[in-house]
Structure 1
Amino acid sequence: MCLAASQDWVLPAAPRFQLGACDWSVGKALNPEAFDRATQIGLQGIQISYNTSKDQAGLSVPATLQLIKEASKRTGVKVSSLAIGELNRVPYKSDPRTEEWVWNSVNAAKELGVKVILLAFFSDGDLRNDEKGKKAVIERLKKVASHAEKQGITLGIESYLSGQEHLDIIHAVGSKAVKVYYDFRNSVDAGHDIFKEIPMLGKEMICEIHMKENGQRLGQGTLDWPRIAEAVKKIDYSGWMQIEGATPPGADLVESYQQNRTYLESLFSFK
């Protein structure tokens, strides 16, 4: 009796890059319908808002968390990461409510199986020329960082600060759970040189990235996306890219995002 030779089965390697979009950018913030819209566009994931101005409890409510889980399972679209955009309106540097939001967002991220939470620092939460605000943010991050570390979650700072200012905050916190959520458009708009900052921060400090051209489709604005793609590949970044705010005024959202996806597919491999 002959026995067939055994075979070693090897799981296919995960793609180096994965493409998603912000739920608020596709008009479905903290809404299970965001996953259906992602399917229409042809995305692998959706970045989900932890909460909104109308629902500040957000994903800390088990029923809301379950709805997001079910939508992801039903569509096959992943929850790529979480974001707390409400910090733009209710600043982390000054409002006590935000400490509970960030702490609870770590628990929600763990429950959803995601690794990154975007913490936004724009509008009322802007940290530029605000040393007192920076110190307050550092102290609050110190308190939550160990919790994030234990859960394997990264807190990503997105702001108009320079790459060096981001690093100063990260080093002051002193935790591997705090990194930079990099947005090329924001950095250029704030007057920073992204082609110096990308290698300076490197893949060790950039936890995730936004792909954005405010009011324009990707490739039709002022950013040099082929050069950006080269710089991103050169630092050996891997992980999620989230399309944000890349729809011209009056244009069809789904159609615009399909075009954005196609453009990024010409620069990166998502399979």
Structure 2
Amino acid sequence: MKYGMNLLLWTSNVDESIFPLLEQIKEWGYDGVELPVFDFNAANFEKTGAKLQELGLGATGVTVCTAEENPISEDVAVREAALNRIRQAIDMCAASGSTHLCGPLHSALGEFSGRGRTDEEWKRAQDILAQAADYAQQQNVTLVVEYLNRFECYFLNNAEDCARFTREVNHPSLKMMYDSFHANIEEKNIGEAVRACADQLVHVHISENDRSTPGEGGVNWDATFAALKEINYDGWMVIEAFGLALPDLAAATRIWRRMFPSEEHLATQGLAFMKSRMQS
């Protein structure tokens, strides 16, 4: 098991300004970090990768698609822009040594059509991500599709559908992830959800129901960790939490009040919580 911390708790930047934070995360006992991949400055990612290697930290990346770069759009140009965006994000992962690129790569975050997904959208997304996976494979990066709750997207909302999506594409560089925050909203049975995606699952986000310190909220952690141990999950387990440090991100994630005593409390207590549950 590898334990990671998503840097979006503090920053959306990847440059030398985060080096002291990386050193602190290493001191806290983490195995790696999840880098925000929103800016495509290769030099910054290369420098960060060198720092991570110096510290002995592994890395994954996380990104999103926008309305102008949407894999399920009816507009061919918009779909091509989405493919280009994902390829650029893959390049940043390769530059930094990140092994996985995670996130809702299937469709634009926060964009709604007013109805459920269509068969045409399903096919469009699979086509774009199959092409992106070909590119990712060349760069030794695995694309990791994330399903989101119904308030953030309409295309993929549960583990079973997400697993079917990647299973049908059937590409070794396209898999999926499980996020306890979204599952807490959408899944009727946590154990069944994890078992339904076990053959496609390569990444886990540990996120509390209020996006604060894991273990201090309302997620059904007993069921979550029991299911992960049942399927012998042994990949990255990364804390994803959000605070008020980044106003734009706080607004996007609907964080209107402080949910934890400090970022250090969240990171250190969250790591201890994950280890205690997985090692018990």
Alignment correspondent of 1:211: 206
Deviation of residue 134 (structure 1)? 2.8
Per-residue Cα deviation, 1:75-116 (whole angstroms, up to 9, x for no partner): 33222x111135488534333432112123333333433331
Alignment of 1:61-210 (within 5 A): 61-79=41-59, 81-85=60-64, 87=66, 90-94=69-73, 95=78, 96-120=80-104, 121=107, 123-125=109-111, 129-131=116-118, 132-160=120-148, 161-202=157-198, 204-210=199-205
- Alpha-carbon contact 1:181-1:206 (below 8 Å) kept: yes
Using a 3 Å threshold, how does the CA distance of structure 1 residues 89 and 210 change in structure 2: closer, same or farther? farther
- What runs of 5+ residues in structure 2 fail to find an aligned partner? 149-156, 244-257
- Alpha-carbon contact 1:158-1:183 (below 8 Å) kept: yes
- Alpha-carbon contact 1:106-1:148 (below 8 Å) kept: yes
- Alpha-carbon contact 2:12-2:36 (below 8 Å) kept: no
**Larger Rg over CA atoms:** 1
Does residue 19 of structure 1 match 2:6? Answer: no
**SS of residue in 1 equivalent to 2:215:** coil
- Alpha-carbon contact 1:26-1:37 (below 8 Å) kept: no
**SS of residue in 2 equivalent to 1:110:** helix
Deviation of residue 196 (structure 1)? 0.3
- What runs of 5+ residues in structure 1 fail to find an aligned partner? 1-16
**SS of residue in 2 equivalent to 1:181:** strand
- Alpha-carbon contact 1:145-1:178 (below 8 Å) kept: yes
Per-residue Cα deviation, 1:62-85 (whole angstroms, up to 9, x for no partner): 311222123213433222x11113
Does residue 268 of structure 1 match 2:268? Answer: no
Does residue 49 of structure 1 match 2:36? Answer: yes
Aligned pair count reads 244
Using a 3 Å threshold, how does the CA distance of structure 1 residues 123 and 67 change in structure 2: closer, same or farther? same
Deviation of residue 28 (structure 1)? 4.9
**SS of residue in 2 equivalent to 1:251:** coil
Deviation of residue 43 (structure 1)? 1.6
Does residue 255 of structure 1 match 2:235? Answer: no
More off after superposition, 145-154 vs 224-233 = 145-154
In structure 1, what is the Cα distance between the partners aligned to 2:185 and 2:84?
A: 31
